[in-house]
Structure 1
Amino acid sequence: MKLSVFTVVTPDLTPEELAAAAKEAGIDGIEWRFKEVPAELKDEKPSFWRNNLCSIDPASSDAELEKFIQAAQANGLKAISVTPYLQAGDLAGTERVLQVARKLGAGMIRVGVPAYDGTKNFNELFELEVQYLEGVEKLAKQYGVKCLVETHHNTIAASASAAYRLVSKFDPNHIGVLFDPGNMVHEGYENFRMGMELLGPYLAHVHIKNTGWKKTETREDGSQAWTSYWEPNLEGVVNWKQVLKDLKAVGYDGYLGVEDFSGKYSSKELLLQYGKEVRAILAAI
């Protein structure tokens, strides 16, 4: 297994700074965040989802994309993914991401999945996603880039089994699953190894982050309310040593992408700590 970084978690670093810091930390690959930063946000302090300096603007020209290519190449890193925030059904947007991924030499992108909040019936959203993935699969074949559904809370793919139900009719050479145990602590928890076994050849990528739960206020009926929140990688509910053992047991040999939103470390410290922690676990197992 190899290490990567999703640049959403290094918002204060430029692409060049991120690549140099990743090299220093012993990280092998980069997942480039693919999202515009609106002009009104550019004077803000850098942050994960707003003024993120390590993002590819979807409107970038080929010349502008060169700085991302050169940043990776200059530091001996591989661009493994272009990771956008697509809406289910947006095939034009999906094709744009695939074009950029091929330009950067990345083998994966993340595709859209409908959110679930109870306002639309699950079955309608499921059919929308399956129809979208039918178009996505054709594009994935055309561009030679695998398209991934992420296990993510507040979507119709919160668990491994829910994600599997979406992708199981498609070719795993073109459609796969981004397995994210940290997300599944918020919602969608199943035994992680069982999920890996269920996904089989669809298990295409893994994100490493962690989550905790804590008591909050008492509800109106007097019962106790709880809320989930981000924790550092080795301090939350997910037992990452066990998860990595399980990944090894099922034969996974892909990338492990850091996505720590806890805010405990600065960007460069996070990469160094991540590299140290995960390499130690991999050596131990």
Structure 2
Amino acid sequence: MRPALNGATAMKYPLETEIPAAAAAGFEGLELWWDKVVSFMEAHTAKELKTLLEENRIKAIGICPFAFSPFRETAQCRADIARGLEIASVIGCDMLTICPYGRPIEMSKEKARQAYAEELRVLTAMAAEHGVRLAIEPISGHTLIPGPLETLDLIGRAGNPDNLGTLVDTFHYSRTGVDVETVREIPLDKLFIVHVNDSEAGEGESLADPDRLYPTEGVLDLAGYMENLRATGYDGYLSVEVFRRSYWEEPIETICDRAMKSYKAICAL
């Protein structure tokens, strides 16, 4: 498997700082945080971003996260995704990560899933024009897609397009109570990326993003995840994604070096 860094791990640092530091630490791939991309574009172009990546010999493997919904801020969500697709096509990035808003409280889950499926048909058609894939991220506690099986159901309802898949996130899966063996139920062609992180002790809703730790520094069964990922034949990127505010205050070189150390540790499990 290949090393990648998610921009959330170094949240306070701009791309101009993050990209060279991640490359120097040995990362091959970088998931660009969308807000950082927007900030970069205020004074630069997508071609300049491509040059920055190429000069540092690191690949933009994704841009994240983008919200989508057939019920809430639909036009704005589509506009953001359209802009993300345009930038992705210029910099040679082939994936956007998308996260759904919830459903109207008065609407049944069945009707909401169908509405989301129709919206995904629109979004995947947009993405196909740019040769880009869309990875739906299951979010713990979500009213429709808290885990991978619900996400796969939604993908099927959307017609199972080739450029629509999902991802594994060890923190979200654990927080939702998804068994590590469930990873094996995700078809390999639908598993676009894996987010690796660890967690402090706790259960379910008692945990939040700031409770994440670097992989192998917490209580999650990361060895179980690695065993089951290997069983699927997955050999793509493991992206270190840690939303811990105390980490963000460290020097960017320290963040990237610790993230790389944790990547190597999880690969050794």
TM-score tier, shorter chain, comes to: 0.7 to 0.9
1:81 alignment partner, one of 43, 48, 62: 62
Q: 5+ residue gaps in structure 2?
A: none
Task: Give 5+ residue unaligned stretches, structure 1.
Answer: 36-54, 216-224
How big is each residue's C-alpha offset from its partner over 1:141-185, in whole Å with a ceiling of 9 and x where there is no partner? 211100110011232221111111111243453101021121122
SS in 2 for 1:261: coil
Letter in 2 for 1:134: R
Report percent identity of matched pairs.
20
Q: 1:198-255, CA deviations, whole angstroms, 9 ceiling, x for partnerless residues? A: 344211111112334549xxxxxxxxx9711413132334222321222122111111
Shift of 1:264: 4.7
Q: Give the helix-richer structure, 1 or 2.
A: 2
1:179 is aligned to 2:168: yes
- The match for 2:24 is 24
Contact 1:172 1:201 in 2 (8 A): no
Partner of 1:111: 98
Letter in 1 for 2:220: V
Take 2:205 and 2:133, find their aligned partners in 1: how far apart are those partners? 37
Give 1:92's aligned residue: 79
1:191 matches 2:179: yes
Residue aligning to 2:217? 235
Alignment partner, residue 270 of structure 1: 255
Normalising by structure 1, what TM-score? Answer: 0.79
Equivalent residue number for residue 5 of structure 2: 5
1:50 aligns to what? none
**Cα RMSD, aligned residues only:** 2.6
By relative contact order (CA 8 Å, sep 6+), the higher-ranking structure is 2
Distance 1:163 1:236, change over 3 A: farther
Would you say the 8 A contact 2:124–2:161 is kept in 1?
Answer: no
Aligned length: 255
Q: Match of 1:80, SS? A: strand
Q: Which residue is equivalent to 1:149?
A: 136
Asked if 1 retains the 8 angstrom alpha-carbon contact of 2:67 and 2:101, the reply is: no
Q: 1:186 to 1:23 in 2, by over 3 A?
A: same
Question: Against the structure 1 CA distance between its residues 212 and 119, is the aligned structure 2 distance closer, same or farther, given a 3 Å change threshold?
Answer: farther
- Structure label with greater radius of gyration: 1
